[in-house]
Amino acid sequence: MAPMTLPTFPDSLVQRDAGGRILLLVLDGVGGLPGSDHGQTELEAARTPNLDRLAAGSSLGMHHPVAPGVTPGSGPGHLSLFGYDPLVHQVGRGALSALGVGFELRAGDLALRLNLATIDAEGRVVDRRAGRPSDEEALQVVRRLREGVRLKNERIEFFLEHEKEHRVVLIFRGGRLGEKLRDTDPQEVGVPPLTPRAFRPDPDPASENTVRVLRDFLDEARKILKDEPVMNGLLARGFARYEGFPSFEDRFGLRGAVHARYPMYRGVARLVGMEVTGTPSTDEEAVGLVERHFSEYDFHFLHYKAPDARGEDGDFAGKVEALEAADAWIPRLRDLEPDVLVVTGDHSTPATMGIHSWHAVPLLIHSRWARPTAEAFGEGACRTGDLGTIEGRHIMSLALAHAGRLKKFGA
């Protein structure tokens, strides 16, 4: 059953011709749990004088990115922050991988993940990851396939992109393509790959079409790779038809820009139509991109990965340091004079857990129309803030409201 949901708000309320500028700073995985020896979370333990001063002029709250108890992946976590209900707008693995490597997906494309694998003379899987090849080695094989494979169905184009090590993304484009296929990856060694097949019972014609195209692709690939000593097989999974999204600009009247070091976050922002300002190789460069392009866009999304990475490492002190580093950018961001500055995360990553979690995420909305309640930014201050504990998909309407970009609802 399709999930029922309230719309965030009627898009007809959006004031398209005017309004303030919005800056969203995502501290990835910012939410935490108390460290064992002091009872403070990572954010509470961090010395963040600039964030604390910002909080003193902000409305505070907490948010559930998807729903209470649900641990978000990075895709749904960010879609929620962008005002898209992540239970409605689902993006499959293959499509996220394609976006992650910077591929320009179009509505109707069918994306899937391929593993380079080793197959023995009897056709059985020997290594599901082909000995974890280097990117260099894997890319050689990807190029041979790109050049060699000719599909029988001439209406179908294919695109092959290397992701990392043994991981490859395959995109089919053209005709009716469905995603209801079982994986060919048997998830074990000593057995042959599974044959491409649509889910039963009642396979849909579009997925049956994809089965034919994929079988043809795999047959061609087998011939091309038969002389490869290690990377001589392919395992397919994560079939995802990309449906296309109503764009950020269409929905909110905002020209949006993403400033992010990692492709995944540029990908999810591009999904809703934000423009990529560059491919910074340091966080410092990402902040510089915001400064350089600030006047060109109505909405800026600045992504900062380190708190999540340190949280996943289980490194409490490292996550504290990562948050303190972000604090130093706040004066520079305030100097840009955004009408609304939102600071939050796409999910929690408590260092004590070492993994994404479902815990509510601290939220700060700074604007001249704020209702301040505390002079600190942390779970304790946020949970008694004026915004209450909300669903993440409502942050966008709050940001728009504070920017003077929403009309009154009804007379």
Among 128, 310, 356, 366, binds its own copies (CB under 8 A): 356
Residue type, 223: K
Minimum distance from residue 246 beta carbon to its own copies (Å): 11
| Listed residue (113, 112, 115, 94) closest to 233, CA to CA | 115
**Residue 253 touching its own copies (CB under 8 A):** no
Minimum distance from residue 96 beta carbon to its own copies (Å): 5
Of 341 and 400, nearer to its own copies (C-beta) is 400
Minimum distance from residue 127 beta carbon to its own copies (Å): 24
Q: How many residues bind its own copies, per CB under 8 A?
A: 65
Phi, psi for 197 (deg, rounded to 5):
-155, 145
The DSSP code sequence of 342-385 is EEE-SSB--TTTTS-B-S-EEEEEESTT-----S--SHHHHHTS
Of 34 and 131, nearer to its own copies (C-beta) is 34
**Residue 183 touching its own copies (CB under 8 A):** no
User: Which own/partner pairs from 330-335 qualify as long-range (CB within 8 Å, at least 24 positions apart)?
Assistant: 330/50, 330/51, 330/53, 330/54, 331/50, 332/287, 332/291, 333/23, 333/25, 333/287, 333/290, 333/302, 334/54
- CB atoms near residue 14 (< 10 Å): 18
Across-strand partners of 158?
172
Which range in 2-10, 151-159, 193-201, 209-217 contacts its own copies by CB under 8 A?
2-10
Contacts (CB under 8 A) with its own copies, residues 374-403: 379-380, 383-390, 394, 396-402
Q: Environment class of residue 154 by beta-carbon count within 10 Å: exposed (0-12), middle (13-18) or buried (19+)?
A: exposed
**Residue 74 touching its own copies (CB under 8 A):** yes
Applying CB under 8 A, the residues found at the interface with its own copies are 3-10, 13, 33-34, 41, 62, 66-76, 86-87, 90-91, 93, 96, 350, 353, 356-360, 369, 371-373, 379-380, 383-390, 394, 396-402, 406-411
